[in-house]
Amino acid sequence: MLKKYGYIRVGAAVNKIHVADVTYNVKEIKKLIAEALSKGVEILVFPELSLTGYTCQDLFFTEELISQTLKGLEELKKYSLDKKITYIVGAPLIINNSLYNCAVSFNAGKIIGVTPKTFIPNYSEFYEYRYFSSATNLMVDEFELLGEKVVVSNLLLYHARGYDFVTYAIDICEDLWQSNSPSNFTSLMGANLIFNLSSSNEIVGKVNYRKDLVRLAASKGSLAYIYASSGITESTTDLLFSGHSIICDGCGDLIENERFSFESNLIFYDIDVLRLNHDRIKNRCYEQINFNFEFKHTYFNLYENNNVLVKKYSKTPFLAHDDASLEEILNIQTYALAKRIKFLGNTKMVIGISGGADSTLAFLIALRVIKLLKMDPKDLIAITMPGFGTSNRTFENAKKLIITSGATYKEIGIKEACIKHYQDIGHALDKYDVAYENAQARERTQILFDYANMVGGIVVGTGDLSEIALGWDTYNGDHMSNYAINASIPKTLVTTLIAKIKADSENQVLKETLADILDTPISPELLPLDAAGNIAQKSEATVGPYLLQDFFLYHFMRYGARPSKLYFLACETFKELEKSEIKKFLEIFIKRFFTQQFKRSCMPDGIKVGSIALSPRGDLRMSSDTYYDMYLKELEAL
């Protein structure tokens, strides 16, 4: 089942080593293969020279070790016959009278390919060139191994039969450390999984450098990098090996094992290969290099070993979870608005304050601009515009927020103007339809723009990314401003940023006001209050939980996930929700996202803070009359 959503389970194993004891090492390798199979792993990698041990030194020259290596390979080949897994083992092999440090891949009773090491280190503690030739010296692209012809190349691509979205290639240890790694080129030819068989010794600080290399390789290539390094049971004559295993999926996730174990160990992870491929299709800069290498190709069987996803997804993928990242977001917003204000000659800022979270965040950013540019707080003109749905709670919070901050406070009610407008257009005062609501939003926007014209200022927009995605704004109403400061901040992040500002503030009145704003239901406040004077119109009752809608938006925009996968991911992540509810809200997302593009086509300037934005000038080029039937049909079929 997981294959149809693009998931491959990969593993990195560190086998306990007896140096130069191939028989023992094969037994440990087979144990780990069996364990990996029980965990649903589909492709498994072992460390460099895992069949013999990396530290055999001059024993690599002996006929007995080479002979035992071949016997070990024969046993592992037979072992693979009925095993629904591909595994990659390190071994020394003689090819055309030269010894190569090789990765040997097994699948379905065959050796499907051999990848020799390209870069042979011969500096400091490394002296591999004493034993091994570089893959660049190879004069053949196949050789006879255990009675069959086997393809051999350092630029060998391993393709999954029946799953054309999966291709792997191999680096060996030092290959990762060099700027022109083989994987730089195999990834250009389609490899989206890179396995590295390594023997990396430990010295102070190397562990973090190693992780940085893996992260960078995964990120630059839009690929998953799976790394397994020799363990502590190697010889410690001069060097200590920690058995460091790393799996990095190129999308920010990195897992690793616990180093320095005397026992064999295994880590595994689900790689979303289709997600990686999406990034490759979208970001094509990696194609812009000329090279002329000869690549080789081989094929393997990929099996459905598991139906349970081990990869976990955050319910709040937009959220930065550390204080420094939140401050960085606030700085991006602040400096973007400050640049615009400075460019206009430190012009005044006019902003509508409702007592809700969106306008509160925009107001707080404007206050930071005032401080940054050393402007008079009175140059920030905050206007509260109570209407038919304005509660006393939100009105008082808006008033306290403005006055406590020292900004210019203005109150301009919209009821009378709207009533006159309803009468002018022949709209019943008790008909609570979209015209009733939108007239209020446009009246507020007219006030803001006219006031800004009057004082020579600009209107700071308050609408957020979630509203823009769902079209939960009024065309030429709250949809419009001179600069939309929250344009790439989703609802789930808006509240988190306000909470940070609250926590950092020393103003007790401001802290209490922000706390109550955060506790207020999300509402446009365009419909009359209930009998008790409380907010009756709640946005999430119509569009669904913003937590869920932001989750859909993130995975749809960032990775191009199709409706069935969005549904699958949401069901896996929001176990507390009924699947029927998830499906219903996903349908709302699809319909609103496509039908509301016309609003995004003419949205105002607004700063991008994260990987997702919907500006028609940058991140989303889409026609306003795109059909969405195929998306709904796929969802209905679930």
**Beta carbons within 8 Å of 180's beta carbon, 6+ residues apart:** none
417 C-beta neighbours (distance < 10 Å), count: 18
Tell me the C-alpha distance between 306 and 38, whole Å.
9
* Region for 419 from its dihedrals, namely left if φ exceeds 0, alpha if ψ lies in -120 to 50, beta otherwise: alpha
At CB < 8 A and 24+ separation, what contacts does 621-630 make? 622/597, 623/597, 624/597, 624/598, 626/594, 626/597, 627/594, 628/590, 628/591, 628/593, 628/594, 628/595
Region for 479 from its dihedrals, namely left if φ exceeds 0, alpha if ψ lies in -120 to 50, beta otherwise: alpha
Active-site residue flag, 48: yes
Q: Which of 77, 117, 491, 599 is catalytic?
A: 117
Contacts 24+ apart (CB under 8 A), 560-568: 560/278, 560/282, 561/275, 562/631, 562/634, 563/590, 563/631, 563/632, 563/634, 563/635, 564/4, 564/5, 564/634, 564/635, 564/637, 564/638, 565/5, 565/6, 565/274, 567/635, 567/638, 568/5
Determine the Cα–Cα distance for residues 11 and 449; give it in Å rounded to an integer: 59
Q: How far apart are CA 138 and CA 98, in angstroms?
A: 9
CA distance 588 to 543: 7
Catalytic residue among 173, 248, 251, 418: 173
173 classed as catalytic: yes
Active-site choice (48, 128, 174, 234): 48
Q: How many CA atoms lie within 13 A of 300 on its CB side?
A: 32
Name the phi and psi angles at 357, rounded to 5.
-70, -45
Encoded tokens for 87: 């595994």
Amino acid of residue 113 = G
> In Å, how far are 190, 222, 286, 317, 559 from 281, measured between CA atoms?
11, 10, 10, 22, 10
Residue 248's φ and ψ, nearest 5 degrees, are -125, 130
d(CA 315, CA 450) in angstroms, rounded, equals 41
272 three-class SS = strand
Query: In 3D, which of 50, 91, 89 has the Cα closest to residue 70?
Result: 91
**Through-space distance between the first and last CA atoms of the chain, rounded to whole angstroms:** 13
Question: Which of 347, 355, 351 lies closest to 448 in space, CA to CA?
Answer: 351
Answer yes or no: 251 catalytic: no
Contact 169, 159 (CB under 8 A): no
Helices and strands: H and E segment counts in the chain? 20, 20
The H-or-E segment that residue 270 falls in is strand 265-272
The answer for residues whose C-beta is within 8 angstroms of residue 312's C-beta and 6 or more apart is 573
Q: Are 224 and 236 in contact, with CB atoms under 8 Å apart?
A: no
The values of phi and psi at residue 116, to 5°, are -85, 155
| Residues with active-site annotation | 48, 117, 173
